Amino acid sequence: MQPVASLVKISIPSYLSNLPIPDSFGGWFRLGFKDWLALVPPTALAAGVGYTVYRAYCPKARPSCSGKLNQVIQLSNPKVVDTIDVEDISGKAAFCRCWKSKNWPYCDGSHAAHNKETGDNVGPVIVKKAK
C-alpha cells in the first residue's frame, strides 16, 4: 500500500504542480515548445477519460440506443413470425438472428458487419437435415 500512497500523496501532486500552466490567458501564447510538450500527457489522459465517460453514459453515443433489434423486417406487423418446413430444406439452411439480413429469414452474412460495428458476437442458426 505504501507505493500507492506515495503515488497519490507525493508523486502526482508534485507532477501537477510542476506543469507549466499560465496564470492568465495571454500566458498560453508565451509558452515554449517544451512547455507545450509537457502538457501533452495530462491533456491526453483527460481527453481519454472524458471520451470514456461520454461513451459510457451518453445514450446517443451508443450504436443502437433505440432498444429495437429489428429495424427493417416487417415493421408494420406487431410480431414477426416465419414458418419453414424442415422437409423443404435440401441439406442445411442458415437462419438470421441479427435482424440485419436482406434475405430474411435466411442469413446473408449481415451479422459480420453488425458484430464489427457493435462488438457483438451474434451468428446464424444453422438447421441440418438428419442423416
pLDDT tens-digit profile of 29-84?
Answer: 999 999 999 999 999 999 999 999 988 887 666 655 556 777 778 888 888 887 77
Cell of 19: 506543469
CA atoms within 13 A on the CB side of 125: 9
Q: Where is pLDDT greater, at 38 or 116?
A: 38
CATH class, domain 67-130, is: alpha beta
Q: Please give the pLDDT value at position 41.
A: 94
Q: Is 79 a catalytic residue?
A: yes
Q: Please give the pLDDT value at position 62.
A: 62
Residue with cell 497519490: 8
Left, alpha or beta for 122 (phi > 0: left; psi -120 to 50: alpha)?
A: beta
Helix ranges (DSSP H) in the chain: 2-6, 12-17, 33-57, 111-118
At 114 the three-state DSSP class reads helix
Location of each CATH 3.40.5.90 domain in the chain: 67-130
CA distances to 4, 45, 46 from 11, in Å: 10, 16, 18
Q: For residue 22, name the pLDDT band (cuts at 50, 70, 90).
A: very high
Average pLDDT, the chain: 85
Query: Which residue in 68, 79, 92, 131 is the catalytic one?
Result: 79
